[in-house]
Structure 1
Amino acid sequence: MEDIIFGIYPVINLLKNNPSLFKKIYILNNKKITNKIKEIFIYINKYNIPYYMVKKQWLNKKTNNHVHQGILGIIFLKKSKYHKNDILKIIKKFKKPFILMLDRITDPQNFGACIRTAVAAKINIIILSKHHSSKLNSTVRKISCGTSEMLPIIFVNSLIQIINLLKNNNITIIGTDNKSKNIIYDKKIYLPICLIMGSENKGIRPIIKNNCDILLSIPLFNNINSLNVSVSTGIFLFEIIRQNLFLK
């Protein structure tokens, strides 16, 4: 199977981290060649990736008029080598696993932003439900800046089943809930951890909340009731990192 990836930074990041995924690259036929396009040509030549110079109208059509910045890649979609049964194998590779679980994240832009944040925070694995979740599509890859290929992302039938699996392996389950009186900055949060994030409007489902070891919130002011899920994810992940950096 094939898919597309477009935008300067998503293409460059994927070229740096997984160039073998590229089947071909299309570049806007423009007299002005920017430094970033020159950088892309370095990778094209290094890995012998076929490329074609095309008109802006062609790129507009292929990306459904999204912001492509004059660059589009056709990539091979490898069938995911990870499945539900691999979760335990993956987490056992790490002394203190750091896991992100996403519940009801249906917007691909939010999903892509969460992936990018997770990679920056050195999350070991992302777990989502097969139902009521965004697919891993070209929009997700663009927003994630190509980082979606840098860690295992596993879709499962039952998040509750996976939560129980993680609990049985001594992993603390932390749910996020803006109504919780437990402020993240007031709690000691030590790895190994599975952090569960829900959608901005609905949060995580009640059945998920009931299976968490603790629910935490971010203090908000000026009558703001919630944050974008990718922003909240960043706050939670990097506060957890901050606390664990000082552990011996």
Structure 2
Amino acid sequence: MSTQLFGIHAVQAALDYSPQKIQRALFDEQRQDARLKEVIDSLKALGISLEKTDRKKLDKLADGKNHQGIVISVELPAMRSEEQLKSDVEALTTTPFYLILDQVQDPHNLGACLRTADAVGVQGIIVTKDNAASITPTVCKVASGAAETVPVYQVTNLARVLRWLKEQNIWILGTAGDASQTLYEMKLDMPLAIVMGAEGTGMRHLTRQHCDFLVKIPMAGQVESLNVSVAAGVLLYEVFRQKAS
């Protein structure tokens, strides 16, 4: 399955991380832009099919969004299986660090989580097969290249996977507003999988039961909770900070 990516930043990310998956490119032949010319030269050097067109056609392909004079067709990254997850975990030579999304449905949240996961060195994101976002064009656009660098594992039975991860000596850290301790009170530089619950409802009861620890993010203002991708970013960067220090 292929999708359209547009905009110089997104196209450059595809060139950096997955040039072999770019199938063709369309660009505005009337546009005079040094950055666009650099991207086109890079595509040309790779032997990728280039097609000159006009702004009107690019506007249509990009649904009226800012394409900056270029649209490319790319093959979507593949979702990985539970069997691949087990194989990859067993092959690790560094401390395990995973993010688990329990029925997170918004593709923008999955894309944002992928981008942060790439930044902090997460080895993979585990998502549920049902009632959850999978890799889509929107996810790839928001992830800005991270959908190519961070594996996404789709599993049918999250509770079973959590039990297996614990058998591999990976601690399961859940997030809950009613937890007794904050993430800043915990030592987090250990083999770890962080679980984020769904938008609005949080973790399911069975998922929560499989967590070794529950933590909350301290809140000083009037809002009761953070967006799931923002909350994931706070937790992931605290782990990153503790590992770095």
| CA distances 1:2-55 after superposition (whole Å, capped 9, x unpaired) | 22222221211110111010110112333321x331231232122111112222
Alignment check: 8 A CA contact 1:18 1:149 kept: yes
1:118-133 alignment, distance < 5 Å: 118-133=117-132
Q: Equivalent residue of 1:96, what SS?
A: coil
Alignment check: 8 A CA contact 2:77 2:147 kept: no
CA distance in 2, matches of 1:186, 1:173: 16
The aligned residue for residue 167 of structure 1 is: 166
The aligned residue for residue 202 of structure 1 is: 201
Q: Equivalent residue of 1:216, what SS?
A: strand
Q: Equivalent residue of 1:242, what SS?
A: helix
The aligned residue for residue 93 of structure 1 is: 91
Deviation at 1:78, TM superposition (A): 6.0
CA distance in 1, matches of 2:100, 2:78: 21
Deviation at 1:93, TM superposition (A): 2.6
The aligned residue for residue 23 of structure 2 is: 23
Amino acid at match of 2:243: N
CA distance in 2, matches of 1:6, 1:197: 30
**How many residue pairs were aligned?**
244
Residue 11 and residue 31 in structure 1: after superposition, are their counterparts in 2 closer, same or farther (change >3 A)?
Answer: closer
CA distance in 2, matches of 1:78, 1:200: 24
1:3-22 alignment, distance < 5 Å: 3-22=3-22
Q: Provide the TM-score with structure 1 as the length reference.
A: 0.92
Residue 177 and residue 39 in structure 1: after superposition, are their counterparts in 2 closer, same or farther (change >3 A)?
Answer: farther
The aligned residue for residue 75 of structure 2 is: 76
CA distance in 2, matches of 1:217, 1:203: 12
Range with greater deviation from structure 2 (48-57 or 232-241): 48-57
Whether 2:232 is the aligned partner of 1:233: answer: yes
Sequence identity (%): 30
CA distance in 1, matches of 2:221, 2:78: 46
Alignment check: 8 A CA contact 1:14 1:147 kept: no
Whether 2:210 is the aligned partner of 1:211: answer: yes
RMSD across aligned positions (CA): 1.6
Alignment check: 8 A CA contact 1:200 1:227 kept: no
Amino acid at match of 1:96: T
The aligned residue for residue 65 of structure 2 is: 66
Residue 192 and residue 54 in structure 1: after superposition, are their counterparts in 2 closer, same or farther (change >3 A)?
Answer: same
The aligned residue for residue 56 of structure 1 is: 55
CA distance in 2, matches of 1:147, 1:11: 13
CA distance in 1, matches of 2:182, 2:18: 39
1:132-171 alignment, distance < 5 Å: 132-171=131-170
Q: Equivalent residue of 2:150, what SS?
A: coil
CA distance in 1, matches of 2:28, 2:16: 21
The aligned residue for residue 103 of structure 1 is: 102
CA distance in 2, matches of 1:207, 1:7: 42
Deviation at 1:217, TM superposition (A): 0.9
Alignment check: 8 A CA contact 1:200 1:226 kept: no
